Amino acid sequence: MPAFVARLPSRARCVVIGAGYTGLSTALELSAIDGDVVVLDALNIGEGASGRNGGQVIPGLKLNPDELEQRFGQSKGAALTDLVGGAAQHVFDLIKRLGIECGARQDGWIQAAHHDAALDNLLNRAVQWQSRGGDVQVLDQAQTTRLLGTSIYKGALLDRRAGQLQPYQYVQGLAAAARSRGVKIFEHCAALQLRRGEGGWTVTTASGEIRAEQVVIATNAYSSPLLPALPHTYVTLWSLQAATAPLSAALLDQVLPGGLPVSDTFRVLRYFRRTDDGRFVLGTRGAFRDALNGGDVARVRAEMLDIYPMLENVPITHCWCGRVAVPAASIPMLSQPEPGLTVALGYYGRGVAMATRMGGLVADLVNGLPPEESAYPVTPFKAMPAAPLHRNVARVAANVMRFQDLFERRVRGGKR
């Protein structure tokens, strides 16, 4: 029980809804001009995806630079590529500037190819980034095996702009920095309703109402229908992770000896890294629900053993899952549905870097930058067509993809 509970103010320049990377980095950026900012979270700080992710700090989006240029035109696409390509650097610079202790290391990220065609795609991606100055290279199978301690992958992309961090410590560090600049953060204080009136917005919570000139919605995959279309602007997937007990010195020599975080290219991908206290943590697609059961633990364990059979006798000590928002346009959505209201969400597993970077872009709009001058495309706010169907389609597609992956593992490499 906290000794002192601050009262919700009746007014603020800006109310930010959601205390994850997007909301807190927005509040932090806004506080550089004026700290009269209130952040509300329905849960605790970082209890959404920001405190429970894989800690992989990856620059760029799921779309490659060429695709961004095709979609947005050469000039705008190139500027956007530059912005998203610099997102990981932005995070590491911010952590250094704010002195956040979160085990941040910018020494690379590996994307490992599970078959030759996937390696060709990675080669193509690497060439695209290299031609734009990105410190990205392709590793052959022997180099990949040396860094990963497993020979199941055909090769990999190594992105030296990327890295890793402890996600919960990072989000707490952002919150502490925001508070030290005057931002007021209220946990267990859900925004229940938004009303637009003269001179701004009224946000209703169970603890009272706040009036604000500007409101930012940063609720990502945990969105409620604060605006009726809000939960229908993306598809929710669940990602499931588990951590082992700390590994012995002998196992640390064998499991990810290179120490870099990894994602692989399976349709239902696995992502994994080692923690500072020597645990192995792996994530993969979760079931379509927040609650876990024993089957979930068994499934992550099977994925761990598929890559590192030597973990057979190492217990899993923690297992958890969280929600991921897959945006309709395949890139994060930045939108202004009404005057004084900004929404940013939908990072599709690239949010450690991109949600942090989004804070500055949102703050620019809140500070009065016209949307057409934004460095990031500000797009119309609308629900996906037939949105309720997408969840069922996603569930079926995920199962089909899982069987395709299992089939490929068997056919292409005996056991794999």
Ligand X SMILES: Cc1cc2nc3c(=O)[nH]c(=O)nc-3n(C[C@H](O)[C@H](O)[C@H](O)COP(=O)(O)OP(=O)(O)OC[C@H]3O[C@@H](n4cnc5c(N)ncnc54)[C@H](O)[C@@H]3O)c2cc1C
Least separation in angstroms between residue 363's CB and ligand X is 14
* Least gap, CB of 410 to ligand X (angstroms): 27
Q: Distance between CA atoms of 32 and 366, rounded to whole angstroms?
A: 13
Taking the complex as a whole, the smallest distance from the CB of residue 249 to ligand X amounts, in Å, to: 26
Nearer to ligand X, 248 or 293 (CB): 293
CB of 278 to ligand X, least distance (A): 19
CB nearer to ligand X: pick between 22 and 81: 22
In DSSP terms, 342 is beta-bridged to 216
Q: What share of the chain is helix, strand, coil (3-state, %, to 5)?
A: 40, 25, 40
State which amino acid sits at residue 250.
Answer: A
* Smaller CB separation from ligand X, 147 or 190: 190
Nearest to 366 by CA among 350, 344, 386, 396: 344
Residue 289 or 410: the one with the smaller Cβ distance to ligand X is 289
> Which CB atom, from 156 or from 226, has the smaller least distance to ligand X?
226
| Helix boundaries (H) for 220-339 | 249-254, 294-307
Contact 15, 185 (CB under 8 A): no
Nearest approach, Cβ of residue 40 and ligand X (Å): 5
CB-based closest residue to ligand X: 351
- Nearer Cβ to ligand X (291/408): 291
Q: For residues 43 and 287, which CB has a smaller minimum distance to ligand X in the complex?
A: 43
CB atoms within 10 A of CB 392: 10
Calpha distance 290→149 (Å, rounded): 32
Q: Which is nearer to ligand X, 314 or 345 (CB)?
A: 345
Which tokens is 280 given?
């192995």
Amino acid at 330: S
User: Residue 239 and residue 232: Cα distance in Å, rounded?
Assistant: 19
Residue 147, phi then psi, degrees to nearest 5: -75, -35
Contact 211, 201 (CB under 8 A): yes
Nearest approach in angstroms of CB 162 to ligand X is 9
Q: List Cα–Cα distances, 268 to 154, 274, 302, 404, in angstroms.
A: 17, 20, 14, 9
| Greatest pairwise CA separation for the chain in angstroms | 68
Closest distance of CB 140 from ligand X, Å: 25
Question: Whole-angstrom Cα distance, residue 341 to residue 324?
Answer: 23
CB of 161 to ligand X, least distance (A): 13
Determine how β-strand 136-139 pairs with β-strand 109-113.
unpaired
The 10 Å CB-count burial string (b at 16+, else e) for 138-157 is bbeeeebbebbbbebbbbbb
Summarize as ranges the residues that interact with ligand X (CB under 6 A).
17-23, 40-43, 47-50, 52-56, 58, 190-191, 218-224, 226, 239, 241, 271, 283, 322-324, 345, 347, 349-353, 355
The distance of closest approach from Cβ of residue 108 to ligand X in the complex, given in angstroms and rounded to an integer, is 14
List the structure tokens of 268.
Answer: 């239902």
Measured from the CB of residue 334, what is the shortest distance to ligand X in angstroms?
A: 12
| Choice between 28 and 58, CB closer to ligand X | 58
Instruction: Please identify, using beta-carbon distances, which residue of 120 and 187 lies nearer to ligand X.
Output: 187
Q: How many CA atoms lie within 13 A of 59 on its CB side?
A: 30
